[in-house]
Amino acid sequence: MSEENRTVTETFFDVLQGVAGELEVKYSEAHWNYPWPLKKELPEDYDRTFLYHYTSQAGAHGILDSKSIWADDAFFLNDPQEVAWGREALKTAIERLDTSKQAQLKQVLSSLTKVSADDGHQAGGLVRSRAYTVSFSKNEDVLRQWRAYGGSRGVALGFNLKLLAKTQPDALLAPVLYKEQEVLADLFYNDLTTALESDEARQLKPSDRRNHLIERYATLLPLAKSPDYEDEEEWRLVVPGFRVREAVPKWRSGRDYATPYLTLGLWDDKTKGQLDAFQGCHAVMGPEAHPLARQFFDKTLKGRVVTSKIKFRSS
């Protein structure tokens, strides 16, 4: 393959040879124990896969300087329909269960489909039905992503999937499932049936079983999205509130409202480099990025910087 035809991912994977390739990384239990078709969606060569976080230049500077990234409350996503898509499918699945099982799930449904945006943030608290997310894309240079997230002068930071997953053992890093609601409802129905009828579930008290399902679906629902957005090839890092109860969310201002978020560390000096999502990290500069904007990223990422090939003008 000629250098001109190599993708950004293929070019920068060379940086990881001898690093990520020798790390024996396993997903935490959260990555494997959900009876959703997540395994089918994971790439076989996930150790060679990069995920791209589109953001502004200020956002990229903050990530690289602090060696951390922000996970926003899923209820505060830009498009409210993203949250509603999976919850409506879950509601349909619960309605298909027999009456006795429906009674057990009323509180689950209420917690996940009717929760208000301020629940769980009184006095900075976290509740089972909350989840915090960070969005990535498998595509390093796509027009829709620049328009929606990074802006034409933004930056897409590329992280190795394998290393990124290792730094977040309490989170679920998985591809978004672009399914129609009818298909999602079938998946949820099968999952609920298994969860309610398994030997493990039968041994739990009703309250514990209910809490388990609330935690489970608070984590999974942010991964459900309409097929209309499939070309985004989005992945999400989902941090369920019940796994980070000691954390207190902060608030950042936005154009229309403030958003609660958690700060996730991507590097830990105590592990001597074994927990470091920045190995092989690289940057794709937006289509209209100023030539001088590249200097910081060239220095910080040791030259691992390219410029978008998309012809695009914002005005």
Within a domain: residue 313?
A: no
Within a domain: residue 15?
A: yes
Q: What percent of the chain has pLDDT over 90?
A: 26
Q: What is the Cα–Cα distance from 68 to 254, expressed in whole angstroms?
A: 20
Q: Is the pLDDT of residue 136 over 90?
A: yes
Q: What is the Cα–Cα distance from 180 to 46, expressed in whole angstroms?
A: 26
Q: What is the pLDDT of residue 42?
A: 53
Q: Which residue has the higher pLDDT, 106 or 22?
A: 106
Q: What is the pLDDT of residue 122?
A: 42
Within a domain: residue 226?
A: yes
Q: What is the Cα–Cα distance from 156 to 282, expressed in whole angstroms?
A: 8
Q: What is the pLDDT of residue 74?
A: 86
- pTM over 0.85? The answer is no
Within a domain: residue 208?
A: yes
Q: What is the pLDDT of residue 308?
A: 93
Q: What is the Cα–Cα distance from 287 to 58, expressed in whole angstroms?
A: 16
3-state class (DSSP) for residue 294 = helix
Reported as a single tens digit per residue, the pLDDT across 255-290 is 888 988 999 999 876 655 556 889 889 999 999 999
Within a domain: residue 315?
A: no
Q: What is the pLDDT of residue 274?
A: 59
3-state class (DSSP) for residue 266 = coil
Q: Is the pLDDT of residue 53 over 80?
A: yes
Q: Quote the domain boundaries for residue 255.
A: 3-307
User: pLDDT tier at 45 (50, 70, 90 boundaries)?
Assistant: low
Reported as a single tens digit per residue, the pLDDT across 17-39 is 333 333 233 333 333 343 344 44
Q: What is the pLDDT of residue 149?
A: 83
Q: Is the pLDDT of residue 151 over 50?
A: yes
Q: Is the pLDDT of residue 247 over 60?
A: yes
User: pLDDT tier at 202 (50, 70, 90 boundaries)?
Assistant: confident
What number of residues does the chain have? Answer: 315
Within a domain: residue 312?
A: no
The β-bridge partners of 134 are: 237
* CB 31 within 8 Å of CB 174: yes
Q: What is the pLDDT of residue 188?
A: 84
The β-bridge partners of 262 are: 71
Within a domain: residue 277?
A: yes
Within a domain: residue 88?
A: yes
Q: Is the pLDDT of residue 133 over 90?
A: yes
Q: What is the pLDDT of residue 257?
A: 86
Tokens of 184: 């999602």
User: pLDDT tier at 4 (50, 70, 90 boundaries)?
Assistant: very low
Q: What percent of the chain has pLDDT over 70?
A: 70
Number of domains into which the chain is organized: 1
Q: Which residue has the higher pLDDT, 27 or 43?
A: 43
Q: By 3-state DSSP, what share of the chain in percent is helix, strand and coil, each rounded to 5?
A: 50, 20, 35
Average pLDDT, the chain: 75
User: pLDDT tier at 59 (50, 70, 90 boundaries)?
Assistant: very high
* CB 165 within 8 Å of CB 173: yes
Cα Rg of the chain (Å, integer): 20
Average pLDDT of the segment spanning 6-24:
36
